[in-house]
Amino acid sequence: MNQQTQAPFENSAEKIWSVAEIEALFKLPFNDLMYSAQQVTRQHFDPNAVQLSTLLSIKTGGCSEDCGYCTQSSFHAGVENKKMLEVEEVVKAAKAAKEAGAGRFCMGAAWREPSAEDMTAVVEMVKEVRALGMETCATLGMLNDEQTEQLRVAGLDYYNHNLDTAPEFYGNIISTRDYQDRLDTLERVRKAGMHVCSGGIVGMGENLTQRAGLIAQLANMNPYPESVPINNLVKLEGTPLAETEDLDPLDFVRTIAVARLTMPRAYVRLSAGRQQMSDAVQALCFLAGANSIFYGDQLLTAGNPEVDRDRALMDKLGMYPLADKCPAMA
């Protein structure tokens, strides 16, 4: 059985947020911000349950985009260009992820957009992973209408495509594709009837107004994404952003809280950068309303906390995977 966690949002005259209003949330006293975010979390979610997604890079390296944070771009020295994984390898990894407790399996590819041939293989992967009883997610770059339809028919539950940053800062990071291209792909995914997973990266040198600008773009989508990954930049060797100054961890926590307040019913995912975070900072992120993580020792090319470390952290915090029952009620 597929563990579908969410019905698509029916919209809804949700609030339209100005960037200034969001910036004001960022500037609240920390305790006030955390208190409000935790209250909103409790209106919509079990505050101790965490949704677990495992990532697999099904096609690594050699990408024709120039995203400044990414080690898979052929514009800068990073990982080598590998060929796409075979369907059987993907299914094996998905089975292992399910065994370890993940509810969703996300397949990522270093493409600007998939070709027709790529789509044939991905459709097969999606069908087989879904047949295991897992939720499916893919992140393959830009999609056209025919491709969104193919993925929907195959049974894809979520499509991940990030806005990455505010429109005003975007040109500092990526030059090979426009902000509007990203919005168009998200619109097609929504129109095809799949759940939208879209978020961004913080700590790329953006200022507070630009961080608020990213959240405004996401929160003002109609409807806003069901899943919102907030990534802390992982500074990967060879990328133009490798030497960027560290973001104050409390500013990362604030970003999670502001995402929670502006998108109350979304799963807010504490995404890339967890391996470099202390348990205490992660605990603050959960308090701020994060209720989803990437689970498994690898993201796409970068590391993620070991499963044992995450299990220990969940135990320490009295948290449990979304699919499991609260141990205290068992």
Active-site residue list: 63, 67, 70, 106, 137, 197, 269
CB of 175 within 8 A of CB of 206? no
Chosen from ligand SAM, ligand DTB, ligand SF4, none, partner binding at 73 (C-beta under 5 to 8 Å by type): ligand SF4
60 lies in the binding site for ligand SF4 (CB under 6 A)? no
| Closer CB to ligand SF4, 53 or 231, in the complex | 231
Report the distance separating Cα 243 and Cα 140, nearest Å. 27
**Min. distance of Cβ 268 from ligand DTB in angstroms?**
12
Q: Which stretch binds ligand SF4 (CB under 6 A): 31-39, 63-71, 92-100, 117-125?
A: 63-71
**Min. distance of Cβ 38 from ligand SAM in angstroms?**
26
Report the distance separating Cα 210 and Cα 189, nearest Å. 25
| Closer CB to ligand SF4, 62 or 223, in the complex | 62
Report the distance separating Cα 179 and Cα 40, nearest Å. 30
113 lies in the binding site for ligand SF4 (CB under 6 A)? no
Q: Residues with Cβ < 8 Å from 161, sequence gap 6 or more? A: 139, 141, 142, 143, 182, 185, 186, 189, 196, 197, 198
- Tell me phi and psi for residue 188, to 5 degrees: -65, -40
Chosen from ligand SAM, ligand SF4, ligand DTB, none, partner binding at 292 (C-beta under 5 to 8 Å by type): none
Q: Which stretch binds ligand SF4 (CB under 6 A): 66-74, 88-96, 149-157, 274-282?
A: 66-74
C-alpha distance from residue 11 to each of 145, 221, 292 (Å): 22, 10, 23
Report the distance separating Cα 82 and Cα 108, nearest Å. 13
- Tell me phi and psi for residue 18, to 5 degrees: -90, 155
- Residue 210, token pair as written in the block: 């630009």
**Min. distance of Cβ 24 from ligand SAM in angstroms?**
26
Q: Where are the beta strands (DSSP E) in the chain?
A: 49-59, 104-109, 135-139, 158-160, 195-197, 200-202, 227-232, 267-270, 292-294, 320-321
| Closer CB to ligand SAM, 51 or 165, in the complex | 165
Chosen from ligand SAM, ligand SF4, ligand DTB, none, partner binding at 198 (C-beta under 5 to 8 Å by type): none
65 lies in the binding site for ligand SF4 (CB under 6 A)? yes
- The residue within the footprint of ligand SF4, chosen from 22, 33, 37, 70 (CB under 6 A), is 70
| Closer CB to ligand SAM, 41 or 231, in the complex | 231
72 lies in the binding site for ligand SF4 (CB under 6 A)? yes
67 lies in the binding site for ligand SF4 (CB under 6 A)? yes
Report the distance separating Cα 237 and Cα 246, nearest Å. 15
- Residue 86, token pair as written in the block: 């075979």
Among 4, 36, 54, 58, residue whose Cα is nearest residue 271? 54
165 lies in the binding site for ligand SF4 (CB under 6 A)? no
63 lies in the binding site for ligand SF4 (CB under 6 A)? yes
**Min. distance of Cβ 231 from ligand SAM in angstroms?**
4
* DSSP letter assigned to residue 81: -
| Closer CB to ligand SF4, 76 or 195, in the complex | 76
Render 259-275 in DSSP notation, one character per residue: HHHHSTTSEEEE-TTGG
CB of 96 within 8 A of CB of 47? no
**Min. distance of Cβ 271 from ligand DTB in angstroms?**
5
226 lies in the binding site for ligand SF4 (CB under 6 A)? no
Report the distance separating Cα 39 and Cα 41, nearest Å. 5
Residues that bind ligand DTB (CB under 6 A): 55, 71, 108, 139, 160, 162, 199, 229, 231, 234, 271-272, 299-302
Contact footprint for ligand SF4 (CB under 6 A) = 63, 65, 67, 70, 72-73, 110, 112, 141
